[in-house]
Structure 1
Amino acid sequence: MDSNLILTAAAILALLIASGFFSGSETALTAVSRGKLRARADKGDRAAERALKVTDDSERLIGAVLLGNNLVNILATSLATVLFTGLFGESGVAAATLVMTALVVVFAEVLPKTYAITNSEIASTRVAPFIAVVVTIFSPVVNMVRAIVRGVLYLFGVKVEAETNILSVREEIVGAISLGHSEGAVEKEHRDRLLGALDLGDRTVEEIMLHRSQIEMIDVALSTLEMVEICLKSPYTRLPIFKDNPENIIGVIHAKDLLRAIYAHQPDDEGDPLRNFDIMSVAMEPYFVPETTTLDDQMRQFLRRHTHFALVVDEYGALQGLITLEDILEEIVGEITDEFDTSADHPMRRTDTGDYIVDGAMTIRDLNRANDWALPDDEANTVAGLVIHEAQTIPTTGQVFSFHGFRFEVMARKDNRITRLKIRKLM
């Protein structure tokens, strides 16, 4: 009898150790950063490579570990019930429940999980070989359980795809960055840059392009001297050239190319240095892109074509605006200013009273980034567009609206465009 008691107690102890192993392994393998494991694996760390392989199929991994953990916990509880019933009779059931609950919670759950979450990289690489064996052994049972679960969910109208990931890598990164910012570990500027780079694939050139009404152009019918004067007065280095009407873009002139060509041009005998100069001889072919192109794709095209300037057209080929590489980079690093930019050109400024004077063409995204606000940009790209959408009309100067926790006052309007607004956050 004594030997049976000792063997049963030893079996319970072994099962508790196994339970702690499964609990700690689950926490370590799910908490560890796959990015760090990948970096170590790329440097030749075979343990990290095994851990990566084990965590490839997270559903199968968790299923196998939970199955093993439940098996040892139930078996340990059953043996403890037999042991305590033999020692204390019927009251041994209650004693076994209390003792096993305390042992499992402390030594098989809290203790191993605490160690695993604080040393996830070391723990995951150490347990990976053993868990790989467990996953292989329990794979048939896990697959069967997976099929049963999906079948039951399907009966309730819930479809789970075979390769469904609960959280995508991109969402994990965005969540980690946002959490780091809220906890003070990531500066606002760093958060904006990282999230800006991640958002390039979800945003289109239509959202950030310079509208056609604001594009500076050159009429090919002008004299060469007038064209040069326009180029000199403009703060831009590239200007579109149109013929007959602004919709008919026939070329793009670069100020440096124009200067170089004028310098090399030979004046005629009559003394007019630009008399026979043809600006189209140095103009570049216009590059058109559809307004639905993503910023990520457009940046790749700019790099591939070795150009920084594109004209945006809609599905009918009508000119909508223009976009430059600088516009895309500003979505990542923020506003880029140079010696030609003045404070008056800035689309937003703060008044002494705490209000914000905002250009109506300023994008909602830029306004949110600058002030850490959360105005919705689903229905409109610009601040003026948001006001018009919410008001369901084109407001007049002086009208005031309150929505989304902000007060909007229309300060200036030109034709049907809201050009300037005053915004104040409501407390």
Structure 2
Amino acid sequence: MTPAETGTIFDGTFWITSGAILLLLVFSGFFSGSETALTAASRGKLRVRADRGDKGAGRALSITDDNERLIGSVLLGNNLVNILAASLATALFTRLFGESGVALATLVMTLLVLVFAEVLPKTYAITRPEAAAALVSGPIKLVILVFSPIVSAVRAFTRLVLRLFGIETDPHSQILAVREEIAGAISLGHSEGAVEKEDRDRLLGALDLGERTVEEIMLHRRQIEMIDADKDVTEVLEQALASPHTRLPVFRGEPENIVGVIHAKDLSRAMYAAGAPARDAGHAENFGNFNIMDVAMEPYFVPETTTLDDQMRNFLKRHTHFALVVDEYGALQGLITLEDILEEIVGEITDEFDALGLEQELKKLSDGSYTVDGAMTIRDLNRATDWSLPDDEANTVAGLVIHEAQMIPNEGQVFSFHGFRFEVQRRVDNRIARLKIRPL
């Protein structure tokens, strides 16, 4: 190649084209890094930065509200600059090397785009997603505004094509709900050792309050201790003092007919006051005219379908800790307390008056298996053992076995399902009282 030819090739057009290719590579890197930063940035962290006065973080939040429009605009810009850069490079290399320049341009542009327009900007963005998202939010907002008509047309066409295949899309829905995203992050943190099991259980328990109902954790009516309103008042006092519970439902005639709720402290005070005149006169206390209903509180009934989150709010609003659960026909199903709901977050709360603690409900044997009280909830068992038995069809372990067996098993029967072996150790009437469980 003569000097004259060389000078002709490396003219102003060559340098302008080379500069344009480099500029387009910069734009490509900007679009690639922006896409990674805006999709990888935590909306929670962006919210914190925005609340502290970071305007870029606030713009990033508003941009990511519509991920479909964001991704469409960024991909459109990225493809435009990449295709244009490749076309210019092909023309330039063809001019320099003839027909072989096409292959050379493809190789060179692939390396340049891969390193400088993809890997490098995306690596930077993924290491500092929130800072990068705030930094690029201004230019990207302008890009979205410019490309909005084209992106809208592409979105409409895409939805039309998907509809032809029977797929409906919701443009306002997020890929993952916020609650699911948080729960997933907590579970991932636990699996990686960053979150302790107790912390995971408490956090997930709090998140689950809106998804669970009082029916799932209530004390069944069979286990409720009640007071007969027609009993002698001294017998009522003795029962209240002997009970581990401070609040007891009062029924008249039959247990279904709840007429009030007695607080042991209110009962003791009222009876002490009723016997004061007799004691002052030096006579034996006389409670003949004492009426237990004078100190009974009005019963508070809640439907069994109430969520735990709503019920906790109701307890706080009514300044009470005790409610009776009824079904759609008004029949008594059980009772629930504020402590029951709190236990779903912090785990089992026991004191010196609790008759049955977790250590009595669940015992680990030397062979790695467990003996479990049939009335223990599946959720409590999973939390104690870190298992994942399903609780969709039943609330208790006994209920799960009956559901899977489609019968009420006899003592000694063995079943295997969900990766576990269940052996019925004790049955009382139609109730499974004790089981032995081990993983298969």
Alignment equivalent of 1:169, drawn from 168, 172, 178: 178
The residue number in structure 1 matching 2:342 is 329
Matches within 5 A, 1:337-352: 337-341=350-354, 346-352=360-366
Name the SS for the 2:166 alignment partner: coil
Q: Give, in whole Å, the separation in 2 of the partners of 1:420 and 1:267.
A: 53
Alignment equivalent of 2:400, drawn from 363, 374, 386: 386
In the TM superposition, what whole-angstrom CA distance separates every residue of 1:129-184 from its partner, at most 9, and x where no partner exists? 11010010001111010000000000111111232322111111111111111111
The residue number in structure 2 matching 1:152 is 161
In the TM superposition, what whole-angstrom CA distance separates every residue of 1:346-367 from its partner, at most 9, and x where no partner exists? 4212123322111111111111
Is the CA contact 1:267–1:273 (under 8 Å) kept in the aligned structure 2? no
Is the CA contact 1:267–1:274 (under 8 Å) kept in the aligned structure 2? no
Matches within 5 A, 1:77-156: 77-156=86-165
Is the CA contact 2:24–2:82 (under 8 Å) kept in the aligned structure 1? yes
Q: Considering only aligned residues, what root-mean-square deviation do their CA atoms show, in Å?
A: 1.3
Name the SS for the 1:393 alignment partner: coil
Q: Give, in whole Å, the separation in 1 of the partners of 2:56 and 2:190.
A: 32
- Whichever residue aligns with residue 298 of structure 2, its letter is E
- Whichever residue aligns with residue 401 of structure 1, its letter is F
The residue number in structure 2 matching 1:299 is 312
In the TM superposition, what whole-angstrom CA distance separates every residue of 1:70-103 from its partner, at most 9, and x where no partner exists? 0000000000100111111111110011111111
- Whichever residue aligns with residue 232 of structure 1, its letter is L
Q: Give, in whole Å, the separation in 1 of the partners of 2:273 and 2:80.
A: 87
Is the CA contact 1:362–1:383 (under 8 Å) kept in the aligned structure 2? yes
- Correspondence 1:203 to 2:212: yes
In the TM superposition, what whole-angstrom CA distance separates every residue of 1:284-316 from its partner, at most 9, and x where no partner exists? 100001111111111111111111100000111
- Which range moved further: 228-237 or 71-80? 228-237
Q: Give, in whole Å, the separation in 2 of the partners of 1:341 and 1:206.
A: 21
1:280 Cα deviation after fit:
1.1
Is the CA contact 2:68–2:171 (under 8 Å) kept in the aligned structure 1? no
The residue number in structure 2 matching 1:362 is 376
1:47 Cα deviation after fit:
2.1
- Correspondence 1:25 to 2:34: yes
Q: Give, in whole Å, the separation in 2 of the partners of 1:144 and 1:24.
A: 25
Name the SS for the 1:283 alignment partner: coil
The residue number in structure 2 matching 1:286 is 299
1:45 Cα deviation after fit:
2.1
1:273 Cα deviation after fit:
3.7
- Whichever residue aligns with residue 288 of structure 2, its letter is R
Q: Give, in whole Å, the separation in 1 of the partners of 2:60 and 2:380.
A: 41
- Whichever residue aligns with residue 335 of structure 2, its letter is L
- Whichever residue aligns with residue 123 of structure 1, its letter is A
Is the CA contact 2:301–2:324 (under 8 Å) kept in the aligned structure 1? yes
Structure number with greater Rg is 2
The residue number in structure 2 matching 1:46 is 55
Give ranges in structure 2 of 5+ residues lacking alignment: 1-8
Name the SS for the 1:80 alignment partner: helix
The residue number in structure 2 matching 1:222 is 231
Is the CA contact 2:299–2:323 (under 8 Å) kept in the aligned structure 1? yes
Is the CA contact 1:397–1:412 (under 8 Å) kept in the aligned structure 2? yes
Which 4+ stretches in 1 moved above 6 angstroms? none
- Whichever residue aligns with residue 377 of structure 2, its letter is T
- Whichever residue aligns with residue 299 of structure 2, its letter is P
1:343 Cα deviation after fit:
6.2
Tell me the TM-score normalised to structure 2 length: 0.94
1:52 Cα deviation after fit:
1.3
Alignment equivalent of 1:309, drawn from 318, 322, 326: 322
Matches within 5 A, 1:3-82: 3-82=12-91
Name the SS for the 1:186 alignment partner: coil
Q: Give, in whole Å, the separation in 2 of the partners of 1:101 and 1:386.
A: 58
- Which range moved further: 156-165 or 75-84? 156-165
The residue number in structure 2 matching 1:425 is 439
- Whichever residue aligns with residue 243 of structure 1, its letter is R
1:344 Cα deviation after fit:
5.8
- Correspondence 1:412 to 2:429: no
Q: Give, in whole Å, the separation in 2 of the partners of 1:174 and 1:363.
A: 21
Q: Give, in whole Å, the separation in 2 of the partners of 1:252 and 1:344.
A: 25
Give ranges in structure 1 of 5+ residues lacking alignment: none
Is the CA contact 1:267–1:275 (under 8 Å) kept in the aligned structure 2? no
